[in-house]
Amino acid sequence: MNHIALKMLMGDRGKYLGIIMGLTFASLIMTQQPAIFVGLMMRTFSFISDLGLPDIWVMDPKVQFVDDIKPLQDTKLYRVRGVAGVEWAMPLYKGLLKARLDDGTFQTCNVIGLDDATLIGGPPVMLEGKLEDLRRSDGVIVDIDGATDKLAKPPQTPGGSPVPLKIGDTLELNDNRAIVVGIAKTTKTFQSQPVIYTTYSRAVRYAPRERKMLSFVLVKAKPGQDIPALVRRIRETTGLAAYTQQEFKDLTMNYFLKNTGIPINFGISVTLGFVVGAAIAGQTFYNFTLENLRQFGVLKAMGTSNWTLLRMILLQAVLVGSVGYGLGVGLTALFGYSMRNTILAFKFPWQLLAFSGAGVTLICIFAALISIRKVIKLEPAIVFKG
């Protein structure tokens, strides 16, 4: 009877497409919106991810997320280095500084100062130049997005495209000259500001003078060390906050989840997509069943059991659910692919497939249940009514 169920479903093209469209829409919204949400959330800690080397991040206990800089005294670095189990501890400066561009405008940049000797904490991928070039006088490395967009030089001809920064170009950071010695690729951050890497000593020179300049201490544990135990030891010994890389990511993401309207906004979109999709698919599927009630009645009169009819309806629901889900997820993937080189945040982990799959399954179960109820209660004697 399965082929009969499928032919009944696909025989009415209009209704069939209506159900598919409803489910596709629901699946698309339930996948695409969370994918943007996940992308945004992952950007909140992308800087931490890019700095893969350290095991532990040490900072002021009041720090709430990665961009919430509460500087430490430089001496704290030595206290951390003195904790048992620490292989090395390096300073890291992170701060927002204004760069003066060729056209006289200012652009806020995320300036990262790396340990002068080791350059630990550098960009993950160098596109042009080498990390060691930072040791050259006034050297800075600029991320490619900043170089081609916000830090780009004005067009050479009216109406032309901005000219990307290249090696050898100069910038002015807080009245200090900086020379571009490399172009790097970094993961986009939540605030989407250009990222400029330089040495720690140069970064603190660029920055307005303050008593405390050290943003973070990056720590590598000695081989075989129990990382959580070392984290506890650093906290106890120095009185500072210490987090493993994952803990710091979680701290940062939780801050954005709790203190911004992002989850609510996306939650509303996803809920709306689910409700609208459920309404469209549920009602169209129900209408489809209502219009085929006589046909179900004929099958019932001829001896088809409720169980068989139930299986037929479930099969129809599974088919439209699978097609709608596949199309929705496919469209989401296509959307993500077409936006890969834009500023849009988009991350499509497998968990989202499961999430939207569960959503579409719920919609199909709902649509099938209201239809099944009608068919189960159907009196086969309906077939003799004119």
> Which is nearer to another protein, 20 or 99 (by Cβ)?
20
Cα gap 3→6, rounded to integer Å = 5
Token duo for residue 323: 């097609």
DSSP string, 254-322: HHHHHHSSHHHHHHHHHHHHHHHHHHHHHHHHHHHHHHTHHHHHHHHHTT--HHHHHHHHHHHHHHHHH
CA 1 to chain centre: 45
Q: How far is the CB of 265 from another protein (least distance, A)?
A: 44
Q: Applying CB under 8 A, which part among 218-226, 316-324, 340-348, 373-381 lies near another protein?
A: 373-381
Going residue by residue from 99 to 128, which x/- string records binding to another protein, judged by CB under 8 A?
------------------------------
Torsion angle of alpha carbons 373, 374, 380, 383, nearest 10°?
A: -160
299 lines the binding site for another protein (CB under 8 A): yes
298 lines the binding site for another protein (CB under 8 A): yes
Q: How far is the CB of 322 from another protein (least distance, A)?
A: 20
Phi, psi dihedral angles at 331 (to 5 degrees): -65, -40
Nearest in space to 176 (alpha carbons), one of 193, 199, 194: 199
358 lines the binding site for another protein (CB under 8 A): no
Token duo for residue 221: 């544990």
Greatest C-alpha distance within the chain: 95
Those residues whose C-beta lies under 8 Å from the C-beta of residue 341, and which sit 6 or more positions away, are none
377 lines the binding site for another protein (CB under 8 A): no
380 lines the binding site for another protein (CB under 8 A): yes
Those residues whose C-beta lies under 8 Å from the C-beta of residue 178, and which sit 6 or more positions away, are 99, 138, 139, 140, 170, 171, 172, 196, 198, 206
384 lines the binding site for another protein (CB under 8 A): yes
- CA terminus-to-terminus distance, the chain: 26
> Which is nearer to another protein, 12 or 87 (by Cβ)?
12
Q: Are 96 and 110 in contact (CB under 8 A)?
A: yes
Cα gap 236→232, rounded to integer Å = 6
383 lines the binding site for another protein (CB under 8 A): yes
Of the candidate residues 136, 294, 337, 373, the single one contacting another protein (CB under 8 A)? 294
Q: How far is the CB of 381 from another protein (least distance, A)?
A: 4
Binders in 212-251 for another protein, by CB under 8 A? none
Binders in 9-68 for another protein, by CB under 8 A? 10-12
Q: Applying CB under 8 A, which part among 2-10, 39-47, 56-64, 201-209 lies near another protein?
A: 2-10
Cα gap 344→38, rounded to integer Å = 12
Q: Are 320 and 20 in contact (CB under 8 A)?
A: yes
159 lines the binding site for another protein (CB under 8 A): no
> Which is nearer to another protein, 7 or 340 (by Cβ)?
7
Q: Applying CB under 8 A, which part among 42-50, 281-289, 304-312, 322-330 lies near another protein?
A: 304-312
> Which is nearer to another protein, 209 or 385 (by Cβ)?
385
> Which is nearer to another protein, 89 or 317 (by Cβ)?
317
Q: How far is the CB of 9 from another protein (least distance, A)?
A: 8
305 lines the binding site for another protein (CB under 8 A): yes
290 lines the binding site for another protein (CB under 8 A): no
For tokens 């203190």, name the residue.
Answer: 259
Q: Applying CB under 8 A, which part among 113-121, 161-169, 295-303, 345-353 lies near another protein?
A: 295-303
Of the candidate residues 69, 295, 329, 343, the single one contacting another protein (CB under 8 A)? 295
Nearest in space to 66 (alpha carbons), one of 201, 223, 256: 256
Of the candidate residues 257, 293, 301, 376, the single one contacting another protein (CB under 8 A)? 301
Binding stretches for another protein (CB under 8 A): 1, 3-4, 7-8, 10-12, 294-295, 298-305, 308, 379-381, 383-386
